[in-house]
């Protein structure tokens, strides 16, 4: 289309007029004077981006007029920083401030008052971003400027006061912070109208900050009162769209959140979000903070989908130049936490890793990371790492005296579940009870943290079995009702609550009710999208499977287990257990080939995991981990006890391998570890550096003294069980690391196989392992023997009898042989129903098989387990021949048949013998004829948990020791005797060298159960008494604890003794050979402890011993040993000689020799 000349002319005139008008508008804008008031006006109207645009124009205007480096530019830059602060653009604010400071450095110098103003704003930015320690010297410098120029009375100095208040707030020094805030408010009121910064530093701003203080200080009522004043004031000034109003809304939301009023908190956060989105847009850092608050509230209520959406908005809109790194990192951690709760370990791991790729300076995020990482390890079945991380969090919070962090409470809740899983129920109850008391002091009942810890406590109490189940059910239901009311009717805590109710019903054998609760728990899990491999769901699957097994609904049980078996890889601690369960169900369904293959694979995988996952753990951690991850072996033994299991050569061979390798992980590894640590510290001693092994032993001794103290005594000493045990574990692990034994986790080259034992046997020699076969049905637990000899092509499996019968009724009959003058703690009072012979039940099944196989037995190596540790087979009489076993069999007791001939007699470096006896227990000389050595009814404990031991003196041991001294001196031995007040625990521990022979004659003890154990370690249940035990009333409590010597030498402490050159130890005291009959792993009692200490052979007693008979037995043994040079022959000859004089086995059969 062609334009006419007239149209072209009109267009040209219009364009000319438009350009002239535009030029005039730009010129007017350039010439217009911009003032701070005009900018603040826009800011407080909520036109934040317009204010930002105008401030930018002002800076450009002043630079154009005066030059970019002129001091006149300082004011626009400072005002721009003020506005950026109100918009929470702290990095942008710092850019303006740094530019202004550089200008002043090059013009006015640092004493120019605006320099102090700029420093204060910079400090505030750093404080808002969590860089408290960077801010402190800046505030100090600003104060110096005011002191040297305008004085501290100047209105602008109030910014220094405010910053001081925030510094102390960030450091949790709340009283000091409150003092500064009050001072700031007073300064504001005194100087109102005088300050150049009052447009920014309004009283409402100060009060918003003060409300933060009271919220963090757990004083919501004070915070609420202040915020009501702020709200009224801002509304009266028509500042409902200002940054001060949005800040106030966030603070009000925080107060409601503190009071666990989640819906009201959400409402205020949402109102704030609406205002910020309108004024700054959805991607602005200030808006992201509102999103963050909303997301946290939704997460607490378990509205995961919406929470995830907000966290992802924060992450996707993160501005590295302006957004708060702390908010970004915490959002990543929150996502990791959510996915972890949902059982999505892959996403949880990814977000956790991303959180560590960015810098942050908020200390609480370190705690959050440890909590998430620890719980993630727990879900993955890595219990050791889980406890390490969670206990690190606990330790840091306590050490730094952090006022409160929810991550501590959450960690306690997880630890409660972890400890229950590991069987440390007492620890779970203690740590959860302590945290609940703390939460109640903070008036935080009804909050998320409270219910997490409360349910963990109830779960622990249910496992402990000491609390009334009905009361637990009642309190659990109350917690469930409160969670539904205050949080979310589909909250994940309802999974745990219904799980507890299901387990309570299961304990009462109310299977249908239990299944109903477990189904409810599963429904809540499904609604929240919780993966089936999340640990609570695994527990539910296990419980449901067990119910179906009890109901013989095998297909239903199998369906439960198969839900998760393929979701784990071979590193998961859960996988072998699930495999074992499926194998067991298959065996019940007569699918033996599949069952056998799967159970063997499960056992091998578990041992492989032990080798890989037990690297550099402390001994206590290792024991607990193995104990409570050994369920796979229970299923194996349950299958082994079946007819198909007994007939299977593969199962018989694996049964032997399991038993010997299981002990290997305890005894042999502990001995190897101890030797390597001692070698390391021998070097340290040679260069006169601290011997950390001695520090470790002393810490353990101190812990052992606390074990027998009452609750009030522990409280008086300020004992922190968790910190103490954590310190011991950490020191021990650091020493293990330092030894650099990285060939494998245990310093042992290979797994033990039955063929290795067979190769070590000579003709006529037999190796027998007694095994307590645990069973998922405790009523079916039994004892069996595995026999290995040169003639056998595979191990022979010999069923012996029902465990419950052998540990109760039959034991009572056996005890008739040992009852004269006996007051043993472990003796049963059950009356036998009929006359039976213990021989027929404890030994005859084994002898019958040996005879059937035509195996010649010139020597029998026997390793005992369970109840066999508490009996002496040699005193049983064969009714067919009228002879005791000692007269018919040549039994050599060993800790493990895998160790046959792997140890030789220690080289006689020096003929040193240490004799210890006749400690002082009664200062009035109380004693008597025929006194028995031991703690029986004389050991008492009060309701406060303290133990009091009333022990008689043992004058007979004085004779015993003196006779031995005379005998050995005649043979040219170097004899050291410790008697009376020299017979102390301190002297035993203080031995500088390891004697070739050590003979201890004193009271011994074994306690079935400790009232309030300081540590869940069976080695604290047995030990020896020395003189200090009678001096408790005359010693300061702190002296006993600090010395670590209370006169009670526990097996726990014995492990640390240096007896590496000791060939023989004689414990001439009662019950020193008794250990826990239920454990089935050979790691309890003095026998185990002295073996780790280095002793080759031990003679120890099984019941309270008669003094006169003991003296004669020991004298005869030493005489025979000098003559035969063979301990085994000498000991047997001594017992046979004593038997002639004292036919009753009580006198001659109390002692056993173990190699």
Residue 1039 lies in a domain: yes
Q: How many angstroms separate the CA atoms of 1078 and 1018, rounded? A: 11
pLDDT(1071) > 60? no
| Residue 653 lies inside a defined structural domain of this protein | no
Q: What is the pLDDT of residues 1004-1040, one digit of tens each?
A: 887 777 777 777 777 888 888 888 888 877 888 888 8
Q: What is the pLDDT of residue 612?
A: 74
From CA 678, how far away is CA 694, in angstroms rounded? 9
What pLDDT does residue 278 have? Answer: 93
pLDDT score, position 615 = 65
Cα-based torsion angle of the residue sequence 395, 399, 400, 406 in order, rounded to the nearest 10 degrees: 30
Q: 885 and 930 share a domain?
A: no
Question: In the chain, what percentage of residues exceed pLDDT 90?
Answer: 33
Q: Are 314 and 395 within one domain?
A: no
For residue 959, is it within any domain?
yes
Supply the mean pLDDT for the chain: 83
Q: Is pLDDT at 5 greater than 60 in this prediction?
A: no
Note whether 958 and 1067 are same-domain residues. yes
Count of the separate structural domains present in the chain:
5
Of 343-357, 365-379, 850-864, the poorest mean pLDDT is in: 850-864
The pLDDT tens digits of the residues spanning 712-741 come to 888 888 877 767 777 777 777 777 777 764
Evaluate whether residue 1087 is within a structural domain.
yes
Residue 565 has pLDDT above 80, yes or no: no
DSSP 35-73: -HHHHHHHHHTT-HHHHHHHHHHHHHHHHHHH-TTSGGG
Q: For the ranges 163-177, 922-936, 1056-1070, which has the lowest average pLDDT?
A: 922-936
In a domain, 4, yes or no: no
Domain stops at, among 561, 590, 607:
561
Shared-domain flag, residues 961 and 827: no
Same domain (yes/no): 866, 917 = no
What is the largest distance, in Å, between two alpha-carbon atoms of the chain?
Answer: 147
In a domain, 192, yes or no: no
Phi, psi of 995 (to 5 degrees): -70, 155
* 308 secondary structure, DSSP code: H
Instruction: Identify whether residues 372 and 356 lie together within a single domain.
Output: no
Q: Residue 783: give the domain boundaries.
A: 754-899
Do both 782 and 921 map to the same domain?
no
| 616 lies in some domain | no
Residues 357 and 369 in one domain: no
pLDDT at position 1084 is: 57
pLDDT average, residue stretch 110-114:
87
Alpha helix stretches (DSSP H) within 69-112: 74-86, 90-105
Question: What CATH number did the domain enclosing 310 receive?
Answer: 1.25.40.10
What mean pLDDT comes out for the span 850-855?
Answer: 86
pLDDT given at position 30: 46
Q: In the structure, what pLDDT confidence band is assigned to residue 549 with cuts at 50, 70 and 90? A: confident
In a domain, residue 69? The reply is: no
Comparing 57-61, 127-131, 752-756, the range with the smallest average pLDDT is 752-756
Q: What is the mean predicted confidence (pLDDT) over 687-700?
A: 80
The mean per-residue pLDDT over the stretch 100-123 comes to: 92
Which range is least confidently modeled, 91-100, 441-450, 456-465, 946-955? Answer: 946-955
**Sign of the torsion formed by the C-alpha atoms of 352, 354, 356 and 359:** negative
Residue 327 has pLDDT above 90, yes or no: yes
Choose the final residue of a domain: 361, 387, 405: 361
String of DSSP letters for 1041-1090: HHHT-SSEEEHHHHTTS--TT--EEEE-STTTT---TTT-SS-SSHHHHH
Q: For residue 629, what is the DSSP state?
A: T
Instruction: Write down the pTM of the prediction.
Output: 0.74
**Among candidate residues 899, 923, 940, the one where a domain is terminated:** 899
pLDDT at 199: 52
- Same domain? 411 vs 432: yes
* CA-wise closest residue to 786 among 753, 814, 760, 810: 753
Pair (1139, 1033) in one structural domain = yes
pLDDT of residue 1079: 53
Q: Is the pLDDT of residue 1051 over 60?
A: yes
DSSP E strands in 782-832: the ranges are: 782-789, 796-802
The residue-averaged pLDDT of 57-81 equals 92
Q: Is 16 exposed, middle or buried (CB count within 10 Å of its CB: 0-12, 13-18, 19+)?
A: exposed
User: How many Å apart are CA 1045 and CA 1025, to the nearest integer?
Assistant: 11
Q: Is pLDDT larger for residue 722 or for residue 90?
A: 90
Write down the pLDDT at residue 1150: 84
Rounded to an integer, the average pLDDT of 1055-1075 is: 77
Query: From CA 599, how far away is CA 591, in angstroms rounded?
Result: 12
Query: pLDDT tens for residues 919-944?
Result: 888 876 555 444 444 544 344 555 55
Based on the domain organization, do 933 and 1011 belong to the same domain?
A: yes
877 - beta bridge partners? 884
1123 and 986 within one domain = yes
Indicate if the pLDDT at residue 1103 is higher than 50: yes
| pLDDT of res. 416 | 92
């Amino acid at each position: 289309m062609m334009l006419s000349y007239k149209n072209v002319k009109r267009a040209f005139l219009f364009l000319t007029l438009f350009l002239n008008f535009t030029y005039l508008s730009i010129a007017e804008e350039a010439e217009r004077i911009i003032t701070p008031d005009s900018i603040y006006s826009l800011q407080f109207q909520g036109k934040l981006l317009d204010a930002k645009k105008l401030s930018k124009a002002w800076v450009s205007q002043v630079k154009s007029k005066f030059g970019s480096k002129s001091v006149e530019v300082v004011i626009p830059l400072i005002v721009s920083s003020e506005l950026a602060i109100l918009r929470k653009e702290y990095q942008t604010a710092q850019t303006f401030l740094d530019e202004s400071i550089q200008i002043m450095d090059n013009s006015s110098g640092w004493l120019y008052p605006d320099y102090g103003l700029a420093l204060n704003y910079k400090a505030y930015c750093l404080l808002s971003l969590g860089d408290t320690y960077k801010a402190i010297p800046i505030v100090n410098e600003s104060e110096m400027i005011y002191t040297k120029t305008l004085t501290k009375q100047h209105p602008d100095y109030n910014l220094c006061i405010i910053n001081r208040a925030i510094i102390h707030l960030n450091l949790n020094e709340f009283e000091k912070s409150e003092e500064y805030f009050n001072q700031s408010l007073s300064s504001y009121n005194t100087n109102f109208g005088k300050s150049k910064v009052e447009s920014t530093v309004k009283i409402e701003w100060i009060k918003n900050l003060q409300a933060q203080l009271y919220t963090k200080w757990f004083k919501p009522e004070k915070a609420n009162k202040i915020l009501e004043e702020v709200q009224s004031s801002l509304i009266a000034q028509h500042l409902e769209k200002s940054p001060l109003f949005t800040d106030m809304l966030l603070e009000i939301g925080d107060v409601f959140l503190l009071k666990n009023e989640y819906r009201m908190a959400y409402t205020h956060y949402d109102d704030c979000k609406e205002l910020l989105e309108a004024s700054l847009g959805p991607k602005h850092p200030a808006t992201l903070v509102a999103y963050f608050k909303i997301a946290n509230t939704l997460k607490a209520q378990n509205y995961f989908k919406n929470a995830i959406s907000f966290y992802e908005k924060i992450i996707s809109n993160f501005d590295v130049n302006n957004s708060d790194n702390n908010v970004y990192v915490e959002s990543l951690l929150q996502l990791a936490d959510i996915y972890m709760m949902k059982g999505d370990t892959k996403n949880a791991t990814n977000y956790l890793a991303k959180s560590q790729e960015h810098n942050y300076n908020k200390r609480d995020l370190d705690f959050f990371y440890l909590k998430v990482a620890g719980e993630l390890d727990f879900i993955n079945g890595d219990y050791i790492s889980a406890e390490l991380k969670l206990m690190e969090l606990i330790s840091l919070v306590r050490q730094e005296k952090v006022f409160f962090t929810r991550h501590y409470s959450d960690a306690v809740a997880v630890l409660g579940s972890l400890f229950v899983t590991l069987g440390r129920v007492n620890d779970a109850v203690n740590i959860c009870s302590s945290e609940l008391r703390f939460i109640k002091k903070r008036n935080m009942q009804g909050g998320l943290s409270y219910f997490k810890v409360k349910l963990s406590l109830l779960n622990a109490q249910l496992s402990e079995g000491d609390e009334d189940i009905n009361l637990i059910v009642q309190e659990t239901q109350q917690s469930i009702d409160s969670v539904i009311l205050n949080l979310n009717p589909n909250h994940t805590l309802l999974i745990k609550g219904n799980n507890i109710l299901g387990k309570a019903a299961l304990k009462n054998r109310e299977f249908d009710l239990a299944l109903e609760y477990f189904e409810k728990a599963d429904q809540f899990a499904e609604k929240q999208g919780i993966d089936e491999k999340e640990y609570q769901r695994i527990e539910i699957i296990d419980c449901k499977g067990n119910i179906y097994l009890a109901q013989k609904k095998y297909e239903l049980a199998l369906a439960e287990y198969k839900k998760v078996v393929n979701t784990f890889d071979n590193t998961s601690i859960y996988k072998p257990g699930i495999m074992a369960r499926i194998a067991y169900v298959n065996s019940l369904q007569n699918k033996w080939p599949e069952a056998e293959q799967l159970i063997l694979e499960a056992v091998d995988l578990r041992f492989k995991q032990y080798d890989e996952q037990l690297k550099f753990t402390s001994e206590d951690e290792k024991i607990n981990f193995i104990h409570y991850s050994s369920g796979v072996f229970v299923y194996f033994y349950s299958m082994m006890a079946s007819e198909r299991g007994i007939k299977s050569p593969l199962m018989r061979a694996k049964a032997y391998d399991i038993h010997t390798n299981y002990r290997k992980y305890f005894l042999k590894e502990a001995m190897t570890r101890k030797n390597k640590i001692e070698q390391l510290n021998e070097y340290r001693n040679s260069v006169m550096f601290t011997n950390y092994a001695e520090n470790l032993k002393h810490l353990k001794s101190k812990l052992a003294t606390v074990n027998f103290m009452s609750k009030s005594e522990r409280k008086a000493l300020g004992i922190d069980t968790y910190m103490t045990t954590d310190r011991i574990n950490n020191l021990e692990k650091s020493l293990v690391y330092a030894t650099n034994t990285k060939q494998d986790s245990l310093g042992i080259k290979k797994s033990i196989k039955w063929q290795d034992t067979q190769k070590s046997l000579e003709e006529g020699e037999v190796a027998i392992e007694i095994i307590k076969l645990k069973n998922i049905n405790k009523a079916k637990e039994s004892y069996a023997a595995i026999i290995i000899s040169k003639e056998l092509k595979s191990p022979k499996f010999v069923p012996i009898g029902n465990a419950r019968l052998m540990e109760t009724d039959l034991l009572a009959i056996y005890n008739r042989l040992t009852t004269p003058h006996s007051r043993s703690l472990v003796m049963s009072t059950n009356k036998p129903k009929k006359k039976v012979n213990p021989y027929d039940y404890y030994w005859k099944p084994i002898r019958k098989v040996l005879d059937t196989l035509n195996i010649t037995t010139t020597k029998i190596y026997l390793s005992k387990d369970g109840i066999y540790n508490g009996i002496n087979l040699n005193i049983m009489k064969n009714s067919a021949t009228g002879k005791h076993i000692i007269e018919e069999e040549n039994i050599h007791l060993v800790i493990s048949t895998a160790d046959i001939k792997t140890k030789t007699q220690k080289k006689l470096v020096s003929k040193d013998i240490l004799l210890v006896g006749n400690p002082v227990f009664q200062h009035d000389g109380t004693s008597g004829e025929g006194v028995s050595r031991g703690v029986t009814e004389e050991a008492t404990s009060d309701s406060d948990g303290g133990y009091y031991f009333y022990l008689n003196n043992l004058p007979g041991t004085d004779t015993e020791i003196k006779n031995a001294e005379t005998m050995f001196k005649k043979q040219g031995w170097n004899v050291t005797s410790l008697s009376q007040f020299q017979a102390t625990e301190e002297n035993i521990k203080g031995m500088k060298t390891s004697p070739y022979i050590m003979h201890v004659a004193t009271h011994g003890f074994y306690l079935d159960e400790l009232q309030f154990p300081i540590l869940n370690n069976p080695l604290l249940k047995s030990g020896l008494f020395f003189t200090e035990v009678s001096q408790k009333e005359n010693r300061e409590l702190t002296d006993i604890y600090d010395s670590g010597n209370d006169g009670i030498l526990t097996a726990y402490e014995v492990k640390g003794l240096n007896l590496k050159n000791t060939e023989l130890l004689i414990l001439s005291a009662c019950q020193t050979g008794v250990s826990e009959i239920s454990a089935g792993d050979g790691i309890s009692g003095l026998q185990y402890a002295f073996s780790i200490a280095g002793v080759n052979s031990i003679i120890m007693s099984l019941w309270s011993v008669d003094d006169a008979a003991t003296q004669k037995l020991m004298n005869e043994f030493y005489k025979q040993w000098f003559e035969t040079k063979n301990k085994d022959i000498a000991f047997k000859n001594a017992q046979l000689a004593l038997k002639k004089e004292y036919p009753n086995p009580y006198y001659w059969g109390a002692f056993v020799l173990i190699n």
